[in-house]
A and B are shown apart, each in its own frame.
Chain A
């Protein structure tokens, strides 16, 4: 039935091969019900084609042109993709610089506020105001990727048995405290292996 239906539809559209068309028309001549089905298919095609429908025309074209202007061309898109693969390093250049700047500022504050370190017997008092003893542990400065989740951060911190001692700063820098006996170099290497870690700097 589906096969005959397909033949009738192709016939109505004038797309049936010549030999098939003649054969079908012969069948129609012998079978009035089939002829009426064919007539229905032809009338349906005609009525569908006669249906009025107004597309957006020039307004639609103006909208498309605007969208195209905002769109880079295919050649530019290729260039952009290439650039995108090169951008992360350039985009994130400020992070190590920011970490270094924070360290310089911290050092400067110690030098300005504390006793002169070249004076014999002088020591810099960096004990917390709360009265706790100053942590003896090594601290690393670390920046996580913007897409890093809480689970990523936790995994990275626990991989070096560390704990977040401070941060994040306005620039997203965390201070990570390592256990007393930990090697800072080894911890940096472990942390850098995490995809979620963007930058780590040891003191």
Chain B
């Protein structure tokens, strides 16, 4: 059976729950890019992101019967992706950045906003500067500006308080501005 764009994510999940692989195909095509981009924002490694994309989608397939509808399907799915990355890091023995202090006061001079504004419009410069940020900072900027999620949804995905989301976004943006301004000066 072919599924149209009219089909909601919840409807697809209900059909997947009874073992309909075509519904899973439709779900994959609809959300593959979103999950892959999110994984890349955290991992910055296309090979691992591809592996984990497969694991996330397989987990969605396995857990379709357990989707309770308490959150949006995308929030639930990105939560699965977040946990897959944490498990991957644990297996690799990588530091999980949980010790990131979001309340740390940044007393370095503020970035030159005009320089940052000029640099942010250059895709290559932005990519390079994003890569210089820590995974949690890259991830949070991705969730705010690419996924356009509100802070409550981000808090639910990352399992952190909403106040921490606010501080982390604020710090991540300031760090990015500094990197962009520096890139502009050295250009």
Is B120 in contact with A9, judged by CB distance below 8 angstroms? no
- Say yes or no: A57 contacts B120, CB within 8 Å: no
8 A Cβ contacts from A56-74 to B: 56-57, 60-61, 63-65, 67-68, 71, 73-74
Q: Are A10 and B19 in contact (CB under 8 A)?
A: no
Q: Which residues of A contact B61 (CB under 8 A)?
A: 64, 68, 71
Q: Which of the 9-residue segments A19-27, A45-53, A91-99, A155-163 touches chain B?
A: A45-53
Assuming the contacts A5-B166, A47-B120, A75-B19, asked whether A64 and B126 have C-beta atoms less than 8 A apart, the reply is: no
SS class, residues of chain A in contact with chain B: helix
- Classify chain A: how many residues form its interface, as a range: 35 or more
- Whole-angstrom CA separation of A67 from B57 in the bound complex: 10
Interface size on B, residues (CB 8 A): 47
Instruction: Tell me, yes or no, whether A13 is within 8 Å of chain B by CB.
Output: yes
Query: Does B76 reach chain A (CB closer than 8 Å)?
Result: no
The distance in angstroms between the C-alpha atoms of A45 and B65, with both chains bound, is 35
Asked if B36 contacts A56 (CB within 8 A), the reply is yes
Given A13-B148, A60-B32, A71-B58: A55 and B120 interface contact (C-beta under 8 Å): no
18 A-B pairs within 8 Å (CB atoms) are namely: A1-B170, A2-B166, A5-B170, A6-B169, A9-B169, A10-B150, A15-B148, A36-B117, A39-B117, A43-B117, A44-B173, A48-B141, A49-B146, A53-B36, A56-B53, A64-B24, A64-B54, A68-B58
